[in-house]
Amino acid sequence: MKREPIKVPLRTKPWGVTGVIRFLRTARRNLVEMIPETATIHPMLSSETMRRWHMVMDPQALKRILKDNVENYPKAEVAVNIMRTAIGESIFVAHGQYWLWQRRTAAPIFSYRNVANLAPIMTEATARTVEKIARIPDDEPFNILDPMIEVTFEIISDVTLSNDDSLSREQMHRALDSFIKRTGRVSLLDALGAPFWIPRPSRLFSARDLTNVQKIVDRAIEKRRAIGPNPNPDLTDLFLAGEDPVTKRRMTTEELRNNLLTFVVAGHETSALTLAWAIYLCSIDPEVQEKAAEEARAVLNGRTAVVDDVAKMPYVRCIIEETLRLYPPFALLIRSAKEDDTLIGREVRKGDPLILPIYALHRNRLLWEDPDSFKPERFQDRKSIARFSYLPFGDGPRICIGAEFALQEMVIVLGTLLSRFRFDPVEGKEPKPVMLLTLRPQGGVWVRARKR
């Protein structure tokens, strides 16, 4: 029987006289719970109490922030500083000309041809995951997030640094997972606006493992420089060969490492979460699951999906896109105004923070019909969806450079799994969406997988 998907309880009351304490408690528990319910019924919210801020859900205003006047709205320093610890001044963090030359260098690396050439790694990792799940008894509940993390991390580590035994997958995953869990929680020092050079105790513990991983990646890059590219180039080879077409500048070892780790951090975490949420949604909607399974079985006929199958499974892709709408990995973005501006008739002053609540945008009743329901069909006519009303990968010049890689990977994995197994929910084990750096299912996504 179909169920309504779980959702985050958005804020319905003002912060009140104990605002700072309640704000901090809420932020540490779940950043998305800070979003007011009214963000799902209004195009823009503004406040002048304590500190001016704006929350933007209007597509035209978002277009101005992310595309038309993007230079006026850099990422807020608090968000940038958190990520800078792990990935330095990479494409994800950098601004201005330093960002631009890196983006120009990286763009050809993520061309359709290069992404398609990486698909065999996705297929092989998916096949191993099918074997692991097939060994689980039909009636035994398990957390599907665990194998999704494993498969996406296998893929991301193999396409990033293939054939390198010096880098332990387990070591890298442990360090990055610790970083995400510890740094994603807002501290009192963050809430008070303290300078980032003042240490946050909760983040000190993840620094040592992270530093070790950075050193290992640096050595692996230098080794690749010395011995030359693999017969089948991976991302390290492509970055080493890449250069900015305007300045002819090439990345140093540190710059290359920062961008590889950006791809690892952003790539495997977001894909794993989306796949787990997608399987959860399919498990509570048998009709959608069967429709996708029929499509996948007709295309795959018992084998693991390859790159040429991706375009032949459009409904599976619709499930992925609808999952990204309901549970966007980056559910909350923050920008800061460099100069005065106007958004849909509202004054924005220099220094004002702008909150882009992607979670609320994707459930805004002015933009979506029946927004809290799981309806993959809404993505069958992609042109019917206003461009800046759907932002799982951002948009404008800073749109996620790995978006097509992620979609290709997720369709290969999900299509294969749905063709082999029927996933059923486990009573009393409903996941709770909680945002640290990304929107994670607290407690996991528990299912039973029955072989088809």
| Domain assignment present for 1 | no
pLDDT higher than threshold 90 for residue 421: yes
Q: State the pLDDT at residue 16.
A: 62
Burial letters 71-95, b for 16+ CB under 10 A, else e: ebbbbeeebbbbbbbbbbbbbbbbe
- The answer to whether residue 30 scores a pLDDT higher than 90 is no
User: Is a pLDDT exceeding 90 seen at residue 170?
Assistant: no
pLDDT in tens, 87-146: 888 998 898 999 999 999 999 999 999 999 999 999 999 999 999 999 999 989 999 999
- Average of pLDDT values for 168-179? 68
Amino acid at 420: R
Q: Mean of the pLDDT values across residues 159-170?
A: 70
With respect to residue 77, please indicate whether it lies within any of the assigned structural domains: yes
The binding site comprises: 400
Distance CA(213)–CA(238), nearest Å, equals 21
Sign for the CA dihedral angle at 43, 331, 313, 365 comes to: negative
> If you average pLDDT over every residue of the chain, what do you get?
88
Domain of 170, CATH number, reads 1.10.630.10
Count CB atoms within 10 A of the CB of residue 307.
17
Question: How remote is the C-alpha of 202 from its chain's centroid?
Answer: 23
The number of domains in the chain is 1
379-408 burial, b for 16+ CB within 10 Å, e for fewer?
Answer: beeeeeeeebbbbbbbbbebebbbebbbbb
Q: In this structure, is residue 51 part of a structural domain?
A: yes
Q: Is the pLDDT of residue 179 over 70?
A: no
Q: In which band, very low, low, confident or very high, does the pLDDT at 399 lie, cut at 50, 70 and 90?
A: very high
Q: Is residue 140 part of a domain?
A: yes
Least confident segment among 16-20, 66-70, 323-327: 16-20
Task: Assess if residue 192 is contained within a domain.
Answer: yes
| Tokens matching residue 324 | 């990204």
Which of helix, strand or coil describes residue 75?
strand
Decide which of 373 and 184 is more confident.
Answer: 373
| Residue 5, in any domain of the structure | no
252 found inside a domain: yes
Residue 226 placed within a domain: yes
- Residue 212 bridge partners (DSSP): none
- Overall average pLDDT of the 6-18 stretch: 79
Strand partners, 46: 54
Token couple for 13: 């009351």
Residues 253-272: what's their mean pLDDT? 89
Q: Which of 66 and 21 is assigned the larger pLDDT?
A: 66
- pLDDT-derived band at 230 (thresholds 50, 70, 90) equals confident
Q: Which pLDDT band holds residue 268 (cuts at 50, 70, 90)?
A: confident
- Domain of residue 307 covers 19-451
What's the token pair of residue 374?
């799981």
Range of weakest confidence among 2-6, 79-83, 117-121: 79-83
Query: Which of 59-68, 115-124, 178-187, 305-314 has the least mean pLDDT?
Result: 178-187
Q: Which helix (H) or strand (E) holds 47?
A: strand 44-47
DSSP lists the bridge partners of residue 343 as: 346
Q: Which residues are annotated as a binding site for heme?
A: 400
